Amino acid sequence: MTGNAARIQAVQNITNRQPMPVSKPDSLANLWASDVFTLSKMKESLPKEVFKSVKKTIETGEALDVSVADVVALAMKDWALSKGALYYAHVFYPLTNATAEKHDGFISVQSDGSVISEFGGKVLVQGEPDGSSFPNGGIRSTFEARGYTAWDVTSPAYIMTTDNGSTLCIPTVFVSWTGEALDKKTPLLRSNAAMNKAAKRVLSLLGNTEIAPVNSSCGAEQEYFLVDANFVNTRPDLLLSGRTLLGASPAKGQQFDDHYFGAIPERIQVYMQDVEEQLYRLGIPAKTRHNEVAPGQFEIAPFHEAANVATDHQQLIMTVLKNTAKKHGLVCLLHEKPFKGINGSGKHVNWSVGNATQGNLLDPGHTPHSNTQFLLFCGAVIRGVHKYGPLLRAAIASASNDHRLGANEAPPAIMSVYLGSQLDNVFEQISQGKITGSLNAGIMDLGISTLPTFNKDAGDRNRTSPFAFTGNRFEFRAVGSGQSVAGPLVSMNTLLADSLNWVADSLEDQLSKGKDLDSAILSTLKEIIDNHGAVVFSGNGYSAEWHKIAVEERGLANLKTAADALPVLKEKYIEELFDKLGVLSPVELASRFEIYAEQYILAIEVEAKLVVSMVKTGIYPAVLKYLSDLSSTLSSLKSNGIELDNSRLTLISEQLNSLTTTVDTLKSAIAQHDFESIEEHLQFSAKTIRPLMDEARSYADALESEVSDELWPFPTYQEMLFIK
Ligand code: ADP
Ligand code: MG
C-alpha cells in the first residue's frame, strides 16, 4: 500500500502502538558468551593435547593440526546439540558487505531408516557452497562454480537463535576452486600475517629478544538510524535503496543540537537493550550507546578486539541491529546517508597493533620523544598513509559513502593524518635532527575544590580529520556505516607492513655500515617525516583552504567520488604492494575493482529507477490532482464573482513540467549502456545520472512544499524522523 491513505494509516498505527512486552535481563555473568564455543568451553570438553594444539593455533597463528579436527568437531557438535541446534552453517563474507551462510543439518539417515546426528572434522574444516551466484569479478566463469569455505579456527563458533530454533555458525574463509580469495576474510588474515612479519623484523632490530605474534586490533563505532517500519513500508526508496531519494527538509532538523547525547527515548532504549543482550550472548563486548547528531540517529560501539574477530563481530552487530529492529516495529538503516540535509552515518574504525610481549605498539606513553619504538611504528603509519592514501580512499569507496565524504559532516575525501600537538612537536624536533623532550599535557584543574583534578590528554580531538591519532590508536573516520570493516583493515595492515619493512631495511642498512642504533633510528624517522610529513595536518579538514593546499602544495589526492577512487585499485603500485606482501594476487585485486565498480553502477541505477517510478506513479498523479482541484475551485469561484490570485497554478504547473522533463532525461540516461570502459561507465553514473537525480529531487521537493498535504503520497521527513 502506498499513497496518502497508507501515510495516514502509518501514523495511526504508530500512535496506537502497544509497547513491546519485555523481561528483565539476565546477569552479565549468565549472558556473557553463553552462545559461543569459547576457549574455556573447549578446555572443558577437549582432551588436553587437542586443546593445547587448538589454543596454539588461535594464539600464535600456527597451522592447525588436521588430526585434531575430528575431536573438535565432536565436542562442538555435542555443545551445539545441548543448545538445541539441529543445523550448522559455514558463515562467510563475500565481496558485498553482507554475511553469507550455507546451512546443513546434523541429520544422517542410517540403513535401517533411523537417524543420528553427525558432524565430523572434514565438514567442520571444509564446506562447498555453490559459489556461482556470489560476485567474483571474472575469477570464475559460472561453469566453474565450485567454491570452498574453510574453517577459521581463530574466530570462535557460535549459536544463532531464532524463536523456534538455533544454528551452529562456523566462521570461514571463502575461496575459489583454484584457491583465489572470493571473500573479505582471507585478505584480512593475510594482511595481518604480513604486518606481523614486518613488525617482528623491526622489534627484533630494536633489541627485543622475546617477541610474541603481533596482531592488529579494531574497535568500530557503528552509527545507525531507526525509522518506524510503518513509514519504511510506504517508501519504495527506503525499502529498496535504504535512503530517501526525495523529501523536503522539515522545519526542524538537527540545528538545535538537541538530539546528540540527549536522553535516549524509551522505545529506543528497550530496543538497544534487546540488541545488547543478544550481543553479550554472542560474546560481543558492546560498550557504549548514545543518541547521535541527527534526529533518529544512534550509535553503538563494542570494546576493541583482535581485528579478525572484531570484523566478524561487526558483521554480527549489523545483523542483530537489523533483525532486532524488525521485532520492535522499527527499521534499522545502515545506509551512509538516509536523509538529505542531516548528518549521515559512519563507522569509525579504531585500529592499533600490538602483542603480548611489547604491548600496544602505538602507545606513546607519557614521554613519546623517548619512546623510539612507538615513534617508529607511528612514523611507519604516517609513511604508509602518505604513500597509499588513495588506497585508503578506494577502500571506503561506495555509492552511498560518496554522500558523506566531503559534505562537512564527515571527513573530507582527502586522506591526511592528525597527530595532535604533542606528537606534532616531537616529529618537528625529529625533522630538526634533534629530539629534546615532549610537551607536557598538564593537569586539568577545574578550580572547584570538590571536583577532582585530572591529567589532560596530550592531544585534542579533531573531528574533521579522516585519520586521527587518538591517544593509543589511529581512528579511520571516513569508513561508511554500512561497510564491512575488513577492507579498511586490510589496507591499514598492508600499508603498515610495507612501511615496517622499509623501516627494517633502513635500520639494517645503516647498522651494517657501522652506525649505532640510536642514530640509525633518528635518521630513519627524519627521512620519514621529511618525505612524508606532507600528509600530517592538524587544521580544519572541512575548509576550502585546506582542500586547495592539500592538492596544490602538498600533492595529496582529492578523489571526490567512488568513481574517481575505485580505479586506484588498478594502479601498478597498488598491485605491487598487495602482491609482494602476499595479501592479494593481481587477479584477486583486479576482480575486486570489477566487483566494486559494478556495485557502484548498479546501486546508482537502482536509485535512478526508483526516482523515475516514484515521480511517475506517486508524485505526478498527486500534483495533477491538486492542480485539477485548484483550477476547478478557482474557476467556480470566478464564476461567482470571486477572483483569487492564480499564479500558484502556473508556478506548480511549471515545476511539474520541469520535473517530468528531467525524469524523462534520467530515464533515457539509465538506458544508456554502450561504454568504452568500466571507468567511463563509473564516471557517467557519478557525473550524469546522479546530478539528474538531484535535479529531479529539487523539483519534487519544491512541489512537496506547495501541494496539499492531504494528497502527498509519501511519508514526510517530519514524520519519519520525529514520530516514534
Ligand atoms: P569515541 O567516540 O570517543 O571515539 P568510543 O568509546 O565511542 O570513543 O569508541 C572508541 C573505540 O575505540 C572503542 O571501540 C574502543 O574499544 C576502541 N579502542 C580503544 N583503544 C583501542 C586500541 N588500542 N586499539 C583499537 N581500538 C581501540
Ligand atoms: Mg570515535
Q: Is residue 568 part of a domain?
A: yes
**Are 177 and 307 part of one and the same domain?**
no
Could you please report the per-residue DSSP string of 565-579? HGGGGGSHHHHHHHH
Q: How far apart are CA 54 and CA 121, in angstroms?
A: 13
Helix axes 486-512, 185-205, angle to 10 degrees: 20
CB 500 within 8 A of CB 191: no
Query: Helix, strand, or coil here: 677?
Result: coil
Q: Is residue 9 part of a domain?
A: no
Provide the pLDDT confidence category of residue 294 given band limits of 50, 70 and 90.
Answer: confident
Q: How far is the CA of 288 from the centre of ligand 1 (A)?
A: 10
pLDDT, greater one: 12 or 294: 12
Q: Is residue 312 part of a domain?
A: yes
Residue pLDDT, tens place only, 398-408 = 999 999 987 76
Percent of the chain beyond pLDDT 70?
94
- Among the bound ligands, name the one nearest to the CA of residue 476: 2
Provide the pLDDT confidence category of residue 242 given band limits of 50, 70 and 90.
Answer: very high
Residue 649 is predicted with a pLDDT of 94
CATH number at residue 331: 3.30.590.10
Q: What is the dihedral of CA 226, 227, 233, 236, to 10 degrees?
A: -90
CB 392 within 8 A of CB 494: no
Q: Note the pTM of the prediction, 2 decimals.
A: 0.95
- Give the helix/strand (H/E) hosting 299: strand 297-302
Single out the residue in 584, 618, 633 at which a domain terminates: 584
Q: Which atom of ligand 1 is nearest to the CA of 350?
A: 26
Provide the pLDDT confidence category of residue 66 given band limits of 50, 70 and 90.
Answer: confident
pLDDT at 90 over 90: yes
Q: How far is the CA of 104 from the centre of ligand 1 (A)?
A: 37
**Are 363 and 265 part of one and the same domain?**
yes
**Are 283 and 136 part of one and the same domain?**
no
CA 28 to centroid of chain Cα atoms: 28
CA angle at 474 for the pair 472 and 478, rounded to the nearest 5°: 155
Q: How far apart are CA 181 and CA 173, in angstroms?
A: 8
Residue 601 is predicted with a pLDDT of 97
Average pLDDT, the chain: 91
Residues 6 or more apart in contact with residue 688 via CB below 8 angstroms: 669
Q: Where are the alpha helices (DSSP H) in 148-220?
A: 185-205
Q: Which atom of ligand 1 is nearest to the CA of 470?
A: 4
CB 72 within 8 A of CB 54: yes
Q: How far is the CA of 242 from the centre of ligand 2 (A)?
A: 24
Nearest CA to ligand 1 atom 14: 219
Residues with CB under 5 A from ligand 2 (ion): 348
Q: How far is the CA of 473 from the centre of ligand 1 (A)?
A: 8
**Are 340 and 410 part of one and the same domain?**
yes
Q: How far is the CA of 362 from the centre of ligand 1 (A)?
A: 13
* Residue among 723, 4, 699, 718 nearest 341 (CA): 718
Q: How far apart are CA 464 and CA 544, in angstroms?
A: 13
**Are 171 and 212 part of one and the same domain?**
no
pLDDT at 450 over 70: no
The rounded radius of gyration (Å) of the Cα atoms in the chain is 28
Mean pLDDT of 320-345: 95
- Among the bound ligands, name the one nearest to the CA of residue 310: 1
Tell me the residue ranges of DSSP E strands in 365-451: 417-418, 443-444
pLDDT at 679 over 80: yes
**Are 699 and 576 part of one and the same domain?**
no
pLDDT at 118 over 80: yes
Q: Where are the alpha helices (DSSP H) in 461-516?
A: 486-512
Q: How far apart are CA 209 and CA 203, in angstroms?
A: 8
Q: Which atom of ligand 1 is nearest to the CA of 351?
A: 25
pLDDT at 509 over 80: yes
Provide the pLDDT confidence category of residue 494 given band limits of 50, 70 and 90.
Answer: very high
Which of 121-125, 260-264, 370-374, 482-486 has the lowest average pLDDT?
260-264
**Are 105 and 237 part of one and the same domain?**
no
Q: How far apart are CA 327 and CA 320, in angstroms?
A: 11
Residue pLDDT, tens place only, 453-463 = 555 566 566 77
Q: How far is the CA of 363 from the centre of ligand 1 (A)?
A: 13
Q: Which atom of ligand 1 is nearest to the CA of 363?
A: 23
**Are 345 and 390 part of one and the same domain?**
yes
Q: Is residue 305 part of a domain?
A: yes
Residue pLDDT, tens place only, 462-486 = 778 999 999 999 999 999 999 999 9
In one-letter notation, the amino acid at residue 682 is L
pLDDT at 449 over 60: no
Mutate to test the pocket of ligand 1, among 221, 303, 378 (most ligand atoms within 8 A of CB): 221
pLDDT at 179 over 90: no
Q: How far is the CA of 472 from the centre of ligand 1 (A)?
A: 9
**Are 666 and 571 part of one and the same domain?**
no
Q: How far apart are CA 409 and CA 540, in angstroms?
A: 12
Mean pLDDT of 679-697: 98
Q: How far apart are CA 712 and CA 169, in angstroms?
A: 46
CB 479 within 8 A of CB 376: no
Single out the residue in 549, 584, 619 at which a domain terminates: 584
Distances (CA, A) of 479 to 58, 209, 310, 350: 28, 37, 15, 11
Q: Which atom of ligand 1 is nearest to the CA of 304?
A: 16
The residue whose grid cell reads 565524504 is 405
- Among the bound ligands, name the one nearest to the CA of residue 219: 1
Q: Is residue 251 part of a domain?
A: no
Q: How far apart are CA 4 and CA 600, in angstroms?
A: 33
Q: Phi, psi at residue 454, to the nearest 5°?
A: -145, 160
Give the domain range for residue 643: 600-722
- Among the bound ligands, name the one nearest to the CA of residue 472: 1
N residues, the chain: 724
Q: How far is the CA of 296 from the centre of ligand 1 (A)?
A: 23
Q: How far apart are CA 140 and CA 177, in angstroms?
A: 9
Nearest CA to ligand 1 atom 11: 219
Q: How far is the CA of 303 from the centre of ligand 1 (A)?
A: 7
CATH number at residue 92: 3.10.20.70
pLDDT at 365 over 80: yes
Q: How far is the CA of 402 from the centre of ligand 2 (A)?
A: 20
pLDDT at 26 over 60: yes
pLDDT at 609 over 50: yes
First to last CA, the chain: 20
Mean pLDDT of 295-316: 96
Percent of the chain beyond pLDDT 90?
76
pLDDT at 451 over 80: no
- Among the bound ligands, name the one nearest to the CA of residue 473: 1
**Are 170 and 196 part of one and the same domain?**
no
Q: Which atom of ligand 1 is nearest to the CA of 352?
A: 24
Nearest CA to ligand 1 atom 19: 304
Q: Which atom of ligand 1 is nearest to the CA of 362?
A: 23
Q: Is residue 515 part of a domain?
A: yes
Q: How far is the CA of 441 from the centre of ligand 2 (A)?
A: 20
Mutate to test the pocket of ligand 1, among 473, 477, 481, 493 (most ligand atoms within 8 A of CB): 473
Mean pLDDT of 590-605: 96
Q: Which residues on adjacent β-strands are paired with residue 106?
A: none
- Among the bound ligands, name the one nearest to the CA of residue 411: 2
Single out the residue in 141, 157, 183 at which a domain terminates: 183
CB 236 within 8 A of CB 614: yes
Q: How far apart are CA 605 and CA 685, in angstroms?
A: 8
Q: Is residue 250 part of a domain?
A: no
Q: Is residue 2 part of a domain?
A: no
Q: How many CA atoms lie within 13 A of 632 on its CB side?
A: 5
Q: How far is the CA of 283 from the centre of ligand 2 (A)?
A: 22
Q: How far apart are CA 302 and CA 321, in angstroms?
A: 13
**Are 174 and 234 part of one and the same domain?**
no
Tell me the residue ranges of DSSP E strands in 379-438: 417-418
User: Which residues surround ligand 1 with Cβ inside 6 Å?
Assistant: 217-219, 221, 288, 301-304, 350-352, 360, 472-473
Q: How far is the CA of 155 from the centre of ligand 1 (A)?
A: 21
Q: Which atom of ligand 1 is nearest to the CA of 472?
A: 23
Mutate to test the pocket of ligand 1, among 216, 260, 304, 477 (most ligand atoms within 8 A of CB): 304
CB 707 within 8 A of CB 623: yes
Provide the pLDDT confidence category of residue 176 given band limits of 50, 70 and 90.
Answer: confident
* Residue among 537, 241, 505 nearest 415 (CA): 537
**Are 174 and 233 part of one and the same domain?**
no
- Among the bound ligands, name the one nearest to the CA of residue 300: 1
Q: Phi, psi at residue 278, to the nearest 5°?
A: -65, -40
Query: Taking phi first (over 0 means left), then psi (-120 to 50 degrees means alpha), and beta for anything else, what does residue 557 get?
Result: beta
* Residue among 357, 324, 335, 342 nearest 402 (CA): 335
Q: How many CA atoms lie within 13 A of 255 on its CB side?
A: 6
Provide the pLDDT confidence category of residue 142 given band limits of 50, 70 and 90.
Answer: very low
Total domains present in the chain: 3
CATH number at residue 612: 1.20.120.1560
